[in-house]
Amino acid sequence: MINIENLDWASIRENLHERGYAQLNQILNAEECEQLIAEYDNPSHYRKMIVMERYRFGLGEYKYFTYPLPPITQRLRESVFPRLVPVANQWMEVLKMGHPYPADFEDFQELCRAQEQTKPTVLILKYGKGGHNTLHQDLYGQLFFPIQMVLFLNEPEQDYTGGEFVLTEQIPRAQSKAIVLKPRKGDALLFTTNFRPVKGSKGYYRVNMKHGVSEVHDGQRYTLGIIFHDALT
């Protein structure tokens, strides 16, 4: 895994403020991506599996990791979280949405536990031909962190076709805007969990955003989702 400290966090935070998402290139190497995929069928790593079609979430499946998390996912959570806190706190301040987030990830987990949100939300997702994920937001309880991360474990156009990552942004008094992205193997996206602030003529207002995955035409597509808040169930 790349040294997270060496990333251009000033530019990343600027992109999050301006667009609600930021791409981080080559966070994982090929071996790390392949190892995560190889362990997909190891039941000892996971607490729960969801078949998307059963719940009308799309077509595909995903598995929630159990605690303790694999070292690479734990490092990502612990190292990325504090660098996102300044963005999250600024969003909460300008939108007048409550108390600031603590700078340390362990302190944030203590807040989750106080809300009885104790189940890990880090997950790995698998799509085959025809697979897709409907537009949604990943909220698992009253307490949430407004930014999350997804890491891409396959090479587009080589391991799969289609399967673009889709963000939609609600435009006031207009139709929603779609943002379509296709990061490469090992890349990551940081993006808003459910909203971002936008400055208007009368101050900041809240813009809601959702995310999903377009239909996979061929091959298999795996991603690793890093959500910072824990879940009630």
Count of residues making up the chain? 233
Q: What does the pLDDT average to over 159-176?
A: 92
Predicted pLDDT of residue 98: 84
Q: pLDDT-based confidence at 201, cuts 50/70/90?
A: confident
Single out the residue of 73, 183, 181 nearest to residue 120, CA to CA.
73
- What digits encode the pLDDT tens for the residues 129-146? 999 999 999 999 999 999
Element containing residue 84 per DSSP (H, E): helix 71-95
Q: Which tens digit of pLDDT belongs to each residue from 73-129?
A: 999 999 999 999 999 999 999 999 988 999 999 999 999 999 999 999 999 999 999
Q: Are 189 and 19 in contact (CB under 8 A)?
A: no
pLDDT digits (tens, 9 = 90+) for 5-59: 999 999 999 999 999 999 999 999 999 999 999 999 999 999 999 999 999 999 9
Which pLDDT score, from 0 to 100, does residue 175 have? 85
CA distances from 11 to 4, 18, 22 (A): 14, 10, 9
Q: Residue 43's pLDDT is what? A: 95
| Local confidence band at 173 (pLDDT 50, 70, 90 cut-offs) | confident
In this predicted structure, the answer to whether residue 67 has a pLDDT above a threshold of 90 is yes
Name the average pLDDT for the chain.
Answer: 96
Flag whether pLDDT at 160 surpasses 90.
Answer: yes
User: What separation in angstroms does the CA of 65 have from each of 69, 88, 140, 152, 212?
Assistant: 6, 25, 15, 17, 20
185 or 98, which is more confident = 185
Q: Do the Cβ atoms of 108 and 102 come closer than 8 Å?
A: yes
Pick the CATH number of 7-226 from 2.60.120.620, 1.10.1040.10, 1.20.120.1200, 3.40.47.10: 2.60.120.620
User: 3-class SS at 19?
Assistant: helix
Is 90 exceeded by the pLDDT of residue 69? yes
Query: Over 90: is that where the pLDDT of 202 sits?
Result: no
Output the pLDDT for position 3.
Answer: 92
Least confident of 80-89, 98-107, 170-179, 184-193: 170-179
pLDDT at 2: 93
- The confidence score (pLDDT) of residue 149 equals 98
